């Protein structure tokens, strides 16, 4: 009954009630009618009550309408609502629109706070990541300039260490540039049809020495030459495999394995990168794709990583409209699972 009630109706009903009570008051005020001729009493009462009714109604309409109109102008000013508001707009609609505006505002404030916190953490993380190699380079070069350059026991070693940190610095900058490109120009990927089995074999060859040094065996479920064709950006997907496999080697256990498995579905392939390494505890999983997040900082830096590999993986797959998930248990290994479309 009251779902579609309007401002006009609200003003009408309240004015009607107010007029009724005014009539009762006037009727019981005998002194008011005492000097009026009996034939004009009823007419006078009707005229007075009509006047009361229209005055009450007018005041209520103006008071209620102006207040609600002010709210709507504020909402429209915030560019949340576009509504042709007038006196015949139902209060239910008013309530719904204001509730929606309040919800959206609350969500935006929440997102802004989250982004602000993320920005602070990101600035802190990138400062730390950049300062570490810079301070190391400064230390080695200062030692060499202060006479170490003439000491054959340390000069070559320190130059090699300074170069290693420069290469690490370059890797961080390159990875940041990659993420920026993926975020600002999502249409830049070049979609082609290619064989991911061949890409996996290529990454295995590139990481063969690293895996051998870590005593990790690299295995593919597609050992033959039968192609596994998918649609995607060949170079970017190559980055995905490289980052996931090098990550599994970093956190693998001696004499362990890293296995890439392909599962054919209706219109896509499900790809798993599985290792039997040290695994990841539950509290780390939700942050695993965050920039510069490291489960084991010392172990990761020993391999010269930028801390951005998994974040790049996530961004690349998102630009392909695909998803990636991770499942892990400490000391039981980790499995990364993602999808790619068939041609």
Please report the pLDDT score of residue 277 as a whole number: 86
Q: Where are the beta strands (DSSP E) in 19-149?
A: none
3-class state of residue 28 by DSSP: helix
Bridging pattern class, strands 268-275 and 333-341: antiparallel
Sign for the CA dihedral angle at 168, 174, 175, 180 comes to: positive
| CA–CA distance, 59 with 53 (Å, rounded to integer) | 10
Q: Kindly state the tokens that stand for 114.
A: 């989250």
3-class state of residue 186 by DSSP: helix
Please report the pLDDT score of residue 339 as a whole number: 92
Model pTM above 0.75: no
The C-alpha angle with vertex 277 and arms to 302 and 285, in degrees rounded to 5, equals 85
Q: Could you give all domains of the chain from N- to C-terminal order, each with its CATH number?
A: 7-89 (no CATH), 113-184 (1.10.287.130), 187-341 (3.30.565.10)
| CA–CA distance, 146 with 13 (Å, rounded to integer) | 93
Average confidence (pLDDT) per 10 residues, the chain, 343 residues: 56 68 63 52 62 69 63 54 51 64 74 66 68 86 88 87 85 79 72 90 90 90 79 90 90 88 88 89 80 61 65 87 88 90 89
Please report the pLDDT score of residue 11 as a whole number: 60
Q: Kindly state the tokens that stand for 84.
A: 């042709």
CB 61 within 8 A of CB 89: no
């Amino acid at each position: 009954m009251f779902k579609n009630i309007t401002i006009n109706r609200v003003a009408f009903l309240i004015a009607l009630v107010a007029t009724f009570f005014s009539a009762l008051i006037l009727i019981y005020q005998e002194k008011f009618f005492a000097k009026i001729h009996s034939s004009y009493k009823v007419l006078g009462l009707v005229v007075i009550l009509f006047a009361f009714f229209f005055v009450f109604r007018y005041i209520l309409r103006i008071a209620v309408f102006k207040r609600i109109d002010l709210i709507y102008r504020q909402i429209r000013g915030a560019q949340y609502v576009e509504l042709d508001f007038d006196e015949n707009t139902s209060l239910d609609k008013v309530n719904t629109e204001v509730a929606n505006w309040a919800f959206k505002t609350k969500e935006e404030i929440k997102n802004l706070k989250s982004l602000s916190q993320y920005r602070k953490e990101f600035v802190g993380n990138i400062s730390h990541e950049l300062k570490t190699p810079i301070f190391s380079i400064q230390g080695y070069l200062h030692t060499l300039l202060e006479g170490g350059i003439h000491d054959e026991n340390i000069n070559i070693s320190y130059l090699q260490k300074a170069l290693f940190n420069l290469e690490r610095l370059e890797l961080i900058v390159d990875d940041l540039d990659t993420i920026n490109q993926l975020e600002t120009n999502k249409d830049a990927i070049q979609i082609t049809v290619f064989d991911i089995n061949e890409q996996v074999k290529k990454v295995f060859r590139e990481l063969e020495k690293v895996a051998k040094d870590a005593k990790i065996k690299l295995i593919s479920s597609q050992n033959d030459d039968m192609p596994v064709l998918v649609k995607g950006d060949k170079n970017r997907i190559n980055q995905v495999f490289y980052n996931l496999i090098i990550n599994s080697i970093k956190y693998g256990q001696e004499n362990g394995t890293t296995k890439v498995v392909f599962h054919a579905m209706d219109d896509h392939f499900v790809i798993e990168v599985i290792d039997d390494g040290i695994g990841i505890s539950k509290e780390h999983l939700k942050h695993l794709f965050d920039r510069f997040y490291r489960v084991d900082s010392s172990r990761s830096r020993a391999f010269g990583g930028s801390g951005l590999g998994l974040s790049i993986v996530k961004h690349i797959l998102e630009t392909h409209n695909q998803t990636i998930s991770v499942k892990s248990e400490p000391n039981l290994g980790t499995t990364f699972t993602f999808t790619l479309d068939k041609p």
